[in-house]
Structures are given as C-alpha cells and as structure tokens.
C-alpha cells in the first residue's frame, strides 16, 4: 500500500534536483550536471586530519600523514573527515539546508557523509553527536541542521544519535563575523556535556555542516573529552581548504 502511494506521489511530485530543481528519474538528490560540479575530497588525504594532498608522497603507505599531523601536534580529534571542499556549489546546498528550510537536502548530504566517514566506521564509532545550537538560536531557526544530518546518517549507518548530552550553554555571535583567533575566542567554553555517563568511554563522531577553522568542533571535542569520551572524530559535509 505504502509503495503504491509512493508510486502515485512520484507521478505528481517527481523527485527534483536539490540544487537546480530539474526533474529526476531517480531520487538521487542531484541531476548529473549539478553532481559533476561538486568537488568531493578524495584520496590521497592525511589519514588523521583529512586534509587533501596535491600529490601522492608515498604510494605504498596506506595511512599518509600531513606535515602538521606527523609532528604529533596536540589535537582533541582522532580523525577529521569531510565529504566536499567548501566552494560556491557546496555552500549553496548547505545554506539551503541551514536557512531556507530545505530540510530534505539532509538525506542526500547524509549519503555523502556516510561515504566520507569510511575510515571512521573502520576505526569504530559508538554514537553520533550533532554540534548543538544554543536554545535561543534553535527557537529562531526551528531546527538544527546538524541534528537533521545526524538523524539521516544514523539511518544509513545504524549508529545511534545522542541529541541531548552535548549542549551549547553560552550564546555566541555567528562565527562568520570573525576570523582566525577571534573565532576561537568567540566559542571558547560555550559547550558542555550534560550527561557525562552517556559519553564516558564512547567513540564519538561529531556531525556538522561545515568545518572552517575547526574552532567550534574543537570546543565541542574538548567538552566531550572532559566528559570521558574515548575518542572524538569529526564528520562534516564540507570543509574550507
Ligand atoms: Zn541540478
Ligand atoms: Zn593531517
């Protein structure tokens, strides 16, 4: 019955490209033209921070590390992964999900998150934690785009989402207003863990739309680590390179 309803709906409401609106024969999210414009982050990239390499340094090595990561600099993260390079195309898709109520985009973006997270799933992950919004911002926007992504990703991976343990207790100004060190200062101490017992000993995957300088994700990771998380990975739709 549900299948029949879906078939009828498809005739009247055919799936459309989430970018340009072209009618699609399958519910793939994007039409081939728009899909070809996307810049996916593909190997080779740093095994730890996920930063793409311009050329292969050593083809034999499976787990290449960038200069910064091979110096073993202190970071609260185990692995960082992103599906796309943040450019005009990925920016449009993300902004539509974030501000224009295009919540259906989350389904397609989560498919890409699932693929980009390959190494994370291999290392082992216990829970998905979306980067939280301050409650005042949540009321204004009505939904948290990262939580929508985590929900869709959970359907694909079977990994549970923890929506409530990590909270943003401090209201901050939007990060886009700042650059570099000001971003770090803006979000410092803004996140905390409410139910440490749900985080303790867990391999946590932080989910967000974009990784810019990583200061928001770092603050979240610090709070999760302080609550006893075994490891923290980050998985974002796009990343500024
Ligand atoms: Zn299109
Ligand atoms: Zn690296």
Average pLDDT score, the chain: 90
- Rounded CA gap, 144 and 135, in Å? 10
Please, are residues 164 and 137 in contact by the beta-carbon 8 Å criterion? Answer: no
Of the chain, the percentage scoring pLDDT greater than 90 comes to: 62
- Rounded CA gap, 41 and 199, in Å? 30
- Judged against a pLDDT cut of 70, whether residue 60 lies above it is answered with no
Q: How far does residue 145's CA lie from ligand 1's centre (Å)?
A: 22
- Smallest-distance ligand from the CA of 69: 2
Q: Is the whole-model pTM more than 0.85?
A: yes
Report residues near ion ligand 2: CB below 5 Å.
Answer: 46, 48-49, 66, 69
- Rounded CA gap, 99 and 105, in Å? 12
Q: How far does residue 51's CA lie from ligand 2's centre (Å)?
A: 6
Radius of gyration of the chain (CA): 18
226-239 average pLDDT score: 98
Q: How far does residue 59's CA lie from ligand 2's centre (Å)?
A: 16
209-235 average pLDDT score: 96
How sure is the predictor about 104, in pLDDT bands with cuts at 50, 70 and 90? confident
The yes or no reply on domain 79-239 and CATH 3.30.479.10 is no
- Smallest-distance ligand from the CA of 92: 1
Of the chain, the percentage scoring pLDDT greater than 70 comes to: 94
- What are the start-end ranges of the E strands in the chain? 80-85, 127-130, 160-161, 166-168, 191-193, 203-211, 231-239
Please provide the size of the chain in residues. Answer: 241
How sure is the predictor about 109, in pLDDT bands with cuts at 50, 70 and 90? very high
Which pLDDT belongs to residue 141? 86
Structure-block tokens of residue 64: 């290449």
Q: How far does residue 31's CA lie from ligand 1's centre (Å)?
A: 4
How sure is the predictor about 101, in pLDDT bands with cuts at 50, 70 and 90? confident
Which pLDDT belongs to residue 57? 60
- Smallest-distance ligand from the CA of 16: 1
Please list, residue by residue across 200-212, b when 16 or more beta carbons sit within 10 angstroms of its beta carbon and e when fewer do.
Answer: eebbbbbbbbbbb
């Amino acid at each position: 019955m549900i299948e029949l309803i879906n078939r009828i709906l498809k005739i009247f409401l055919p799936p459309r490209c989430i970018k340009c609106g072209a009618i699609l024969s399958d519910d793939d999210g994007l039409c081939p033209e728009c899909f070809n414009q996307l810049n996916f982050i593909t190997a080779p990239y740093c095994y730890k921070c996920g930063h793409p390499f311009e050329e292969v340094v050593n083809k034999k090595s499976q787990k290449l590390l960038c200069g910064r990561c091979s110096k073993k600099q202190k970071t609260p993260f185990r692995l960082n992964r992103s599906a796309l390079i943040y450019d005009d195309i990925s920016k449009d898709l993300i902004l539509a999900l974030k501000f224009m109520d295009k919540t259906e985009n989350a389904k397609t973006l989560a498919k890409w998150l699932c693929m980009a997270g390959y190494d994370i799933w291999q290392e082992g992950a216990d829970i998905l934690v979306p980067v939280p919004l301050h409650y005042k911002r949540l009321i204004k926007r009505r939904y948290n785009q990262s939580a929508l992504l985590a929900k869709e990703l959970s359907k694909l991976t079977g990994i549970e989402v923890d929506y409530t343990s990590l909270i943003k207790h401090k209201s901050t100004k939007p990060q886009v207003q700042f650059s570099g060190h000001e971003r770090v200062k803006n979000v410092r101490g803004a996140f905390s863990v409410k139910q440490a017992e749900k985080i303790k000993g867990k391999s946590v995957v932080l989910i967000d739309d974009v990784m810019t300088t990583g200061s928001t994700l770092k603050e979240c990771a610090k709070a999760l680590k302080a609550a006893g998380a075994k490891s923290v990975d980050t998985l974002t739709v796009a990343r500024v390179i």
